[in-house]
Structure 1
Amino acid sequence: MSTTSAGLRRTAARRPAIRPTWCCSFSLDPQTPQSKPYSPISKPPSLTSRRILSPGRVSPIDSDPIDTDPIQDLQEKRLSSVEESRDGGSFRGFRVRLKGREGDVVILSEKEKEMICENSEVFRGLIGGMDLNRGFEIELDGLEGLEGFKATIGLMREKNQNEMRWLAKIGVSGAIEILEVSFSIRYERGVTACLKYLEAVPWTENEEEKLKILLKTYSFDKTLTQDILSRLYAASLTSSDNLVVPLIRSVTKGPNSKSRKELHSLMNGILSSSSMYQKDIAMPNKEGIYDLCHSILDSLLVLFKEEQPSAERISQQLENLHWLSEILIEKQIGEEFINLWINQGELISIHEIASPMVRYELSRVSATIFISLGRGKIHINGEKRFEFFNSWFGPMLVDFGWLRRCPKGLDMRMLEESIGQALLTLAMQQQLKFFMEWFRVFSERGRECPNLTRAFQVWWRRSFVRSVGQS
C-alpha cells in the first residue's frame, strides 16, 4: 500500500462527507471474562449479540446474555466503529479506514477491500450483517503500527507458491507482525504461511522472545505450531544437570588448548550463579565430576612415570584438574576434592624429583585451594587444613617463582595474601612449624618464594604481645 497521506486527503475530498447519524460500536468491556483468543478454525463470527438503537449505538445490554464468540475480543481491541451516511445516498457499499496510534490514517482502495473481505473471516462476518445499499465506514483504531496490517494485505496479493519468497523479503520481525494480524482477522492462509516461514529460518534472540509471547498470547492450532514449538522448547529435556558432566568430559579430552579455553569459558558461564543462560542454574553431578578427577589423577601418575615425561600432556591434564577443582569449589561441593588432593602421596613424592618445568603445574591446583581457604570460600575442619598444609605448603614455596613467571591467569598477589590468611586459621603451634619453614626458604630464594611477612607479624603479635588489660 503506497498511498500517501496527501493522496488520502485528496481522495476523501472528492467524495461527499459522511455525516453519521448513528454508529455501531462493537467495543466490549476490557474486563469481560470472555475475552479469550480463538482458534483459526473457529466458527464464523456471530453478530446476534448486538442490538441496533437508532439514533444511538449498538452495545451489549446488561440485562441480556452476551454471545461469547471470541470475535468480540478482537472487535474490542481492533474495531472502533461502523458509521452510516445520514441520507444513505452519499456512497454505497463501505469504506475501510485504518488508524494508527500515532494518528496516521490509511483508507483501503476498492481492490484492497475486496481482497481483505475475500481472505478475512472477520470482515466477511462484518459485511454480511450490513445493508450494502447504504454507505458504511469501518474504522480500525489504535493500531500499534499500520505496517503490519499493510504487509498482511500485501501477502494476500501473492499466490501460494510465492508466499515464502515474499515473506523472506519482509524478514522474521515482519512475518511475526503479519502472523499476529492474520490471526486477529482470521486470515488462515496468512497464519499458515507465516508459521511455515518462521519455522524454516533462524531467529535473533529478540525475535525469539516476540515469537514466544505471541504463541502464548493466542491459541494457535497445535498442528500448525508444533514444529516451531519443538525449536523453542525441548520436551524431553527436563533438566540441564544430566548434560553437564558429558560436556565437561568432552572438554577435558580435547587436544586443542585454544578450543579448551573457549569451552572452559562457555561452561563457566553456563554454571555461573549469575548465568544469563537460564533461570535455574545447572548443578553438575557431583559423582560424575569426582570420577573425572580420579581418572585425571590416574593419567598423571602414568605420565610422570614415563622415561621422558611429556610436559605438554602433563600440563593439559593438570589444567583440566585445576578447572574441575574451580567448578567444585564454586558449587560448594569441593570439600572432598581437598581430601583427594591431600592423599596424593605418590604425586608429592614425584614432585620432589621431577623437573621444575613439569612439577610446578601441580602447585597450580594447590593454589586454587589456598585461595579458597584464605578467602573463606570453602570450609573444612582444622585437622584437614593442617594436613593440606603439611602436604602441599612445601611444594608451593619452591614452585611459587615458576607460577609467577607463568601465571596463566592466576592472580599471584591474591595467592600470596591467601596463603598467609589460610595459614593463620591453623592452631598457633601449627603455624609456628610452617612459618619456620617459610623463613628458611624465603631467606634462600627471596621473591621466588611467597612473601608472608604480614601473616608472620600477626602470628608474632598474637603469640608474644600482651593486649591491654592482660596480666
Structure 2
Amino acid sequence: MRAGRPRIGDRATSDVVVRLRTPEGRDEWLYCHSAVLAAGSTYFAERLSDDWPTCQILGSRYCVEVYCQELDLSSHVNALRLLYAAEPCSRFGVRGALGVLQAAVHLGCAQIAAACVGYLESSPWDEADEEEILRIVPPLGRTGPARELKSAAQEQLEYMLTEDDDAPLLALDNDGVKSQVKDCVSGLLSRFSDFLTSILSNQKEPPFGGGDGELRQELHSLICDISWVCQVLSKLEMMKFLVLYWVGVSSDVVQAVEAVCTGFDCLKTRLKVVEVSAKVLEAIAFGNIVLATEKRCHAVNVWIGFAGRTKSFVDQADRADDDSIETEKVNLDNEVWQVLESAFVSIVLTLPSNSQAEILSQWLQSKHVKYPDLTEAFEAWCYRSKVAKRRFSFLSHMDRVS
C-alpha cells in the first residue's frame, strides 16, 4: 500500500461513491476518494469536475455511476483498487490483465493500462491467450496503450518472418500461413472499405461513433495497419492481393482522405497514404504484377495529383513559422518520395502514347509540377513521338496519293 494514501472502501474518509452497474441489474458500491480517482482516471476527473452535473447522495457525498457488462464488473473493481495500490498486473494473469486493460481504457486510467500492456508484452502466451488477445485488443486500437500492444505484436510477427543467418520462424512458402494471412488481410480491407463507404455516403453519424477527431483517428489507424500489411505481403510474395484492391479503391481513398484531412490537418495520415501508394505503384512498375492498361493509367492519374498536393503541404509546413503548424512538421524518408516518383515515370512510359500525352499535359499545367518530376517521361514521349511521326510519314503520303 502506498504510504499516505487513503484506503478504498473506507467509509469514514470517503467523499465519493462509485456505483458499478450492469444491464442485468447487478450493482457494486465502492466508497472512494475523489482526489485519488481524479488523479488516476480521466473519466472520473471529468465526472467530478465542477462542469459536470452530479447527484449528491449520502449527505455530502457524490455518487458516480459507471455502466459495464456483467463479465467486466470484476475487472472494473480491480482497476479501481489499482488506483489505490501499486499492485503488479501479473497477479491477474494474462486473461485478468486483459480484463483490467479493458476497464482501464474505459475509465481513462493511463498508468494502469500501460502497466497491463507492459505485462502482456513480456508474458508468455498460449494459443488460447493469443485468441483472447486478438479478440480484445483490436477494438481498443484507438487508445495509446492498445496501439503499443498491437505494435509489439506486429514487431514480433515481422521478426518471425525475417530471414537472417537463422531460418525464419515461419516458413514463407507455407500455404497454411499464406491462407491465414490472406483471411486476416481480407478482414482488414473489408473494414476499410466499409469505413470509406461510411465517409463517402455522408452519413450524419460518423463511422464507429464519435466526432471528427475520432473519425480521423480511425482513418489513421486503418491506413497504418494497411501500411504494415504491405511489409508482410511483400515478404510472403503476396503483394498482388493488395495491389489489385488498392488500385480499385484509389479514387475512394483520395476522396475520403481529402474530405477528412483538409489543409495541414492529419498530415501524418496523408503521408501514410502516400507510403502505401508508393509500395503499390512500385510493385506495379518494378515487380511481377501485371495490370491492364486502363488500370495502370487510372492509378497514375489518381496518385500523381494526391502525391503532388501532399508534398506541397509538407513543403509549406517546413517553411511555416506558425507554431500551430510546428507540431505537424513530419515527412517521409526521401527514398519513399524517390521510389514513388520513379514508379510514376516507369508506369507512364508503359502506357500508349495518347495516354502519356494526356497525363503529361495535366502534369505540365498543374501547380504541383515540381513533384512528381516527370521530365524524364516527357522527354522520352517527345523523342518517341518525333521518331514515330517520321517513320510513319509514308502513311500521310499514301493518303495524298489515294
Q: TM-score range by the shorter chain?
A: 0.3 to 0.5
Per the normalisation by structure 1, the TM-score is 0.40
Per the normalisation by structure 2, the TM-score is 0.46
Query: Which has the greater radius of gyration?
Result: 1
- Bigger fraction of residues in helix: 2
